[in-house]
Amino acid sequence: MLNSLYIENIAVIETASIDFRDGFTVMTGETGAGKSIIIDAINMALGERTSRDSLRAGAEAGRVSAMFELPEDALASSFLQRADFAFDGTVLLERTLTSEGRSFGKVNGRPVSTAFMRELGNLMLNIHGQHDSQYLLQSERHIEYLDAFAGLTQDRGNYALSYGHLRALEKEYAELEADEQQKIRELELLHYQADEIEGAALQADEEGNLLAKRQIIQNMQRLTESLAAVRESLAPEEGEGALSMMHGAVRHLSGVASLSPDLESLHRTLNDLYYQLEDVRGEVYRLFEDMAYDDAEIEAVESRLALIGRLKQKYGATIGEVLDYATDARRRIDGILISKERKKTIAQELENVYNNLRECAQKLTANRTKAASVVSVAVERELSALSMQNTRFVVSITPHQAGVLSEYGAESVAFLLATNPGEPPKPLARVVSGGELSRIMLALKSVLGRADGVDTMVFD
C-alpha cells in the first residue's frame, strides 16, 4: 500500500508531506483547494506523462516521492525481483522534473525509465477518475480478472504456452504449404542438375590432362618427327649411334681404368652416362609409341572437353566448383525431402496439440462459468451496500465460433452492467455517470481486488 507521499515545487505546493494509514482515507475540500494536485503528483510518481507547466512558478525543479509497502508475494515484488532489484518490503518511487522539461525517475535510488516506473506503478496503485476507465474498464482484461478470482491463472498460463506452440506449428505448416508447388519444381530441377553432373563422372584433374593430350595431338607430326630423329641419333637401324659410341668409349676406358684413380673416376662417369642414355632411349621409344592416336581417340578428347565446358558454363568456373554444385544440390534435395516429412509430422503434431488445447479450454470454460455466477452475486451485493440496490452485474461468457481457440481459451469474457430495472446490461465502459462509475469501481475492486494484485486505489 501507499505509505507516504512527498511533494516539492509542484503547482502551488512548495512542500507537502502526507502519511497514509491502512484502510479508507478521505481527502475533501472545495474546488481549487488542491485535491487534483495530489492526484497529479501521484501520477507523476507512477511515471505518467508530465510537463514543466506542472512546476511551481519560479522553481528550477520539482520532485515527488511515493513510499510503498508491499508483501513479498505481491505482483510488484515479483516484477522488481525479475528486474534484479533488492527487495526489503518497501519501494520508493522518486521523480524529478526540471524547468527545461526533462524528468528523471528512480526506484529505490536506482535510475529507471519512465516506462519502467509506469509498469511498476500500475502493479501497486490504481487511480479511478470519474471518467477514467483504468484496467477494469478494458474488456480484454476481464477474462484475466475472472481467472485470477477463480484461481485459474496457472492453468491459463499453461494453456497459453500450449497455444503459443500451436500458433508456431501453424505458422511453420503454412510456410511449408505456401511454397509446396515451388518446392516441387525446385526438386525436379535439382535432381536434373545433380544427375547431369554426377553422370559425367568428372575427375578433379581431368581437364588439365585432357588439354595436355589435346596439345600433343595438335602437334603430333612435329613431335613424332623430333622423337624419330632423337631415336635415330641414339640407336639408328643402320650404322653407329650415340649409344653404341658411348658404349665403345666405356669399353676402351675400362681396360686402363685400373692404372690411375683419375681414369677409374672417369670410367665410372662414362658408365653412368651410358646407362642414362639407355633410359633416355627407352623413354623416347615409349613416347613415340604413345603418339599413335586414331580418329576415335581424338574425337573422344574433344567430346569430353566440350562436355566439361558445358558443365562449367552452367555450374561453375572450375571442375571443383561444378562438383561442389552437385554436392549442394543433393543437400538441398535432402532438405526439401526432409521438409515434406516435417510437414507430415507437423500435421500430426498440430492435431495432438489442438486436441489437448480443446480439453484444457473446456476445463477453463467450466471453471469460468462457475466463477462468473459467484462474481456476479458478490458484486451486486457490494453495489447494494453502495446504494445501487437495483443494479444488475453480469459476467458475460461468449463462446468463440465452433472450433476456434484464442490465447485465452474458447470464449471471451466481458463485465456488463444494468443500472436501472428493465434495461439490458451494457459494457462497463458505456456507464457514463461519474458517481456510478466510482461506486462500481469500488465494488469491483472489493470483489476482485485480490485478483489484480493492486493494493492501493485512489478514487477521484
Render pLDDT for 90-119 as a digit per residue (tens, 0 to 9). Answer: 999 999 999 998 999 999 999 999 999 998
CA distances from 146 to 24, 142, 159, 400 (A): 25, 6, 16, 17
Please check the confidence at residue 432 and state whether its pLDDT lies above 70.
no
Q: 407: closest CA among 172, 169, 165, 175?
A: 165
Domain membership flag for residue 233: no
Interval 433-454: pLDDT, tens = 666 777 777 787 778 765 566 7
pTM exceeding the 0.75 threshold for the entire prediction: no
The number of distinct structural domains making up the chain is 1
Chain-centroid distance, C-alpha 135 = 31
Domain membership flag for residue 353: no
Per-residue pLDDT at 131: 47
Please check the confidence at residue 365 and state whether its pLDDT lies above 90.
yes
Q: Is residue 375 very low, low, confident or very high in pLDDT (cuts 50, 70, 90)?
A: very high
Identify the residue with better confidence: 132 or 212: 212
Strand (E) or helix (H) holding 17: strand 13-19
Strand partners of residue 94 = 65, 106
Identify the residue with better confidence: 127 or 409: 409
Domain membership flag for residue 62: yes
Q: How far apart are CA 62 and CA 55, in angstroms?
A: 6
Note whether 52 and 99 are within 8 A (CB).
Answer: yes
Q: Is residue 145 very low, low, confident or very high in pLDDT (cuts 50, 70, 90)?
A: confident
Domain membership flag for residue 404: no
Burial (0-12, 13-18, 19+ Cβ within 10 Å), 139: middle
Can you tell me the mean pLDDT for 74-78?
78
Strands 426-427 and 411-418: antiparallel
Identify the residue with better confidence: 4 or 139: 4
Domain membership flag for residue 414: no
Q: What is the CATH number of the domain that holds 73?
A: 3.40.50.300
Please check the confidence at residue 332 and state whether its pLDDT lies above 60.
yes
| CB burial string 183-211: b at 16+ within 10 A, e below | beeeeeebeebbebbeebebeeeebeebe
Per-residue pLDDT at 157: 85
Kindly report the average pLDDT of the chain as a whole number: 84
Cα dihedral 256, 261, 265, 267, rounded to 10, equals 0
CA distances from 448 to 127, 136, 259, 363, 453 (A): 16, 10, 128, 21, 9
Chain-centroid distance, C-alpha 310 = 42
Helix (H, G, I), strand (E, B) or coil at 427: strand
Q: How far apart are CA 350 and CA 357, in angstroms?
A: 10
Per-residue pLDDT at 135: 64
Domain membership flag for residue 410: no
Long-range contacts formed by 293-299: CB under 8 A, 24+ apart: 293/217, 293/220, 298/217
Cβ atoms within 10 Å, residue 46: 23
Please check the confidence at residue 133 and state whether its pLDDT lies above 70.
no
Domain membership flag for residue 68: yes
Q: How many helices, marked H, and strands, marked E, lie in the chain?
A: 13, 11
- Cell output for 175: 510456410
Please check the confidence at residue 368 and state whether its pLDDT lies above 90.
yes
Domain membership flag for residue 290: no
Strands 125-128 and 456-459: parallel
Please check the confidence at residue 329 and state whether its pLDDT lies above 80.
yes
Q: Is residue 364 very low, low, confident or very high in pLDDT (cuts 50, 70, 90)?
A: very high
Q: 364: closest CA among 163, 136, 73, 164?
A: 163
Domain enclosing residue 93, as ranges: 1-125
